[in-house]
Structure 1
Amino acid sequence: MQIGVALPTGVPGADGSRLIEFARRADRLGFHSLTVTDRVVYDSYDSIVALAAAAGATERIELVTAILLAATRPSNVELAKQLASLDRLSGGRLVVGVSSGMREDDYAATGTDYHSRGRRLDEALVELQEIWAGKGPVPGVGPRPVNGTIPIWGGGHSAAGLRRAARHGIGWISPGGPPHKFSELVANFRTLWDEEGRTGAPRMGANCYVALGPNGAEEAKKHMLSYYAFMGQMAEHLAKGAVTEPEQLRAVVDLYEANGCDEIFLLSVTDDPDHLDRIADVVLK
């Protein structure tokens, strides 16, 4: 199983220079991927801009949007151009994870319709591929991705989101949950994959919040109660699910691997680059 780490762009007040060092260190330590989450109405960095900065500070690490709220972007042409530009700037290291999201205010803020977001995301995934192939509504929009296209990874727990991932993606990213139940998610998704007539095996990913260190539990609770405040009491439950001890992290990673996870994304609740060293000591050595 490969191990990625999230660039903490969603930590309120995160310092830009620390995020750049976070990306450099993730690359140097040997993590397989660097991911970003996506929010509009929150004190967070824009996902594409943040990954563009990370691309210039790194050499080999895969860059993943996990996930991008593509349907909040008013123009598919502009989004296709931004993503292809990022892909070329990074030398073809980009993977685009997408989901429709569940926060209505993110759509209101961008002037896009919340209730049609799923249908529009389906349409966007088709149009992005057409634009990258040199077609689309206005042929000639460039640049072209390094490998001709950019891999798409699906996210979200809804039936429509799972079906979308099976139809358009290389696989599915779980938002999180108990690792011992991941094998059931894998089996269910492979059924959808087969129904869509896909060949080969889907790539299965999972997110997991991590907060190691003496104040890990407190930092996890503070961050997650803020980030998931819109979910009410569920935010408390999510905060309790963060991994805060090294032994626990090793056990969680091993259990995800045993249950069919191909890549786990570890989400830091702090922008402190030293947190990466603590994580790496557990999962990479």
Structure 2
Amino acid sequence: MEIGVGLPGHVTGVEERTLLTWARRAEERGFASLIASDRLAWSTPDPLITLAAAAGATERIRLVTSVLLAPLHTNPALFAKAAATLDRIAGAGRLHLGLAPGAREDDYRASHLDFRTRGRALDALVERVTAIWRGEEEVGPAPVTPGGPPLWFGGTSQATLRRVASHGTGWIAGTDGDIEEFLAFATRLHHRWKEAGRQGRPRIRATAMFALGDHARPSLARAVTDYYAFAGPDYVRTVIDTAATTADAVHAVVTAYEAAGLDELVFVGNATDPRQIDLLADVLGDRLASPDRTTGGPDGSR
């Protein structure tokens, strides 16, 4: 199982240049992927621009959106061009696009878009964008990754199963830490993948919240309480209680997901100090890749 790190872009007050320090340090310490999240009605930096800057600051680490609110991009051709440009800047295979419709209605109000039709909008965008990347329309530049960046989908709906089976490389699971629910959905996904006639198997990433050091739990509680307030206090408590704020908790999360057959576990930062990267890397030890090794799978094949 590979291990990635998620930028603390959702933390109130984070400075964008700090995220570049995170990116460089994550590559230096051997993390497999760098993850950027997405919100519109929040202070989260734009994930595609953030990853473009990270691509220029790094050489090998994968660059992943988890998850991009794709229906907010209402011009599929322009989105296809932007993503292909980032793919070319990063280099073949480095960019992975995690997409989802999103669960927060305020992001759609801010866009003057219909929250109720977001699923259909995502499906239409994916169909058009993948057709462009196959060369069926003259929209450029073409991506350097054959067929375009691999697509991953978030969520736990029937539509998520369909999207992964029809267009995806894999599924990105959420942050609530429920291994039983994770395994149940993963089993359904494998069945749907086979029913669709896909070869191999779907790849699976999961995310886990973390903060380490002297003020780990208060830092995490502030970040999570602010960010997930829309979901209610019970969900906030669940995220806080299942987050990794000690070395033992980090190892427990790794062990649980490794036993569940996960391909990559991503620890999402909840404190902005770049030293969080070193604290996490020191806990993980030889579970991380050698920093001088080119990052490999989960592969981007379709």
In the TM superposition, structure 1's runs of 4+ consecutive aligned residues that sit over 3 Å from their partners are 177-180
Q: Secondary structure at the match of 2:97?
A: strand
Maintained 8 Å contact 2:2/2:265: yes
Q: Secondary structure at the match of 2:52?
A: helix
2:283 maps to 1:282: yes
Identify which range, 207-216 or 169-178, moves more after superposition: 169-178
Cα displacement (A) at 1:154? 1.1
Maintained 8 Å contact 1:73/1:112: no
Q: Matches of 1:81 and 1:110 in 2, distance apart?
A: 21
Amino acid at match of 1:210: F
Cα displacement (A) at 1:57? 0.4
Per-residue deviation, residues 27-73 of structure 1 (Å, max 9, x unmatched): 11110000111100001101111101101100000000111110111
Q: Secondary structure at the match of 1:65?
A: strand
Match of 1:125 in 2: 126
Match of 1:246 in 2: 247
Maintained 8 Å contact 1:4/1:32: yes
RMSD over aligned CA atoms reads: 1.3
Q: Matches of 1:100 and 1:180 in 2, distance apart?
A: 23
Amino acid at match of 1:161: T
2:158 maps to 1:159: yes
2:64 maps to 1:64: yes
Cα displacement (A) at 1:11? 1.4
Maintained 8 Å contact 2:175/2:239: no
Per-residue deviation, residues 68-117 of structure 1 (Å, max 9, x unmatched): 11011121111111111111011121010111111111112122221111
Amino acid at match of 1:110: S
Cα displacement (A) at 1:284? 3.6
Q: TM-score, normalised by structure 1?
A: 0.95
Match of 1:6 in 2: 6
Cα displacement (A) at 1:179? 5.6
Q: TM-score, normalised by structure 2?
A: 0.90
Q: Matches of 2:184 and 2:176 in 1, distance apart?
A: 12
Per-residue deviation, residues 131-157 of structure 1 (Å, max 9, x unmatched): 12232xxx3211111123110011112
- How many residues align structurally? 282
2:145 maps to 1:144: no
Q: Matches of 1:115 and 1:163 in 2, distance apart?
A: 19
Cα displacement (A) at 1:176? 2.6
Amino acid at match of 1:250: H
Q: Matches of 2:83 and 2:46 in 1, distance apart?
A: 13
Amino acid at match of 1:48: L
Match of 2:189 in 1: 189
Match of 2:274 in 1: 273
Identify which range, 155-164 or 250-259, moves more after superposition: 155-164
Gaps of 5+ in 2: 287-302
Maintained 8 Å contact 1:21/1:273: yes
Q: Matches of 2:162 and 2:131 in 1, distance apart?
A: 21
Gaps of 5+ in 1: none
Cα displacement (A) at 1:8? 1.6
Match of 1:219 in 2: 219
Percent identity of the aligned residues?
Answer: 41
Maintained 8 Å contact 1:9/1:50: no
Cα displacement (A) at 1:225? 0.6
Q: Secondary structure at the match of 2:204?
A: strand
2:58 maps to 1:36: no
Q: Secondary structure at the match of 1:60?
A: coil
Q: Secondary structure at the match of 2:238?
A: helix
Q: Matches of 1:157 and 1:237 in 2, distance apart?
A: 18
Higher relative contact order (CA 8 A, sep 6+): 2
Cα displacement (A) at 1:158? 2.1
Cα displacement (A) at 1:186? 2.1
Q: Secondary structure at the match of 1:116?
A: helix
Q: Matches of 2:285 and 2:77 in 1, distance apart?
A: 39
2:168 maps to 1:169: yes
Q: Matches of 1:253 and 1:143 in 2, distance apart?
A: 39
Maintained 8 Å contact 1:205/1:261: yes
Per-residue deviation, residues 205-256 of structure 1 (Å, max 9, x unmatched): 1010011111111111100010011111222222222111101101211210
Maintained 8 Å contact 1:18/1:271: yes
Maintained 8 Å contact 2:3/2:267: yes
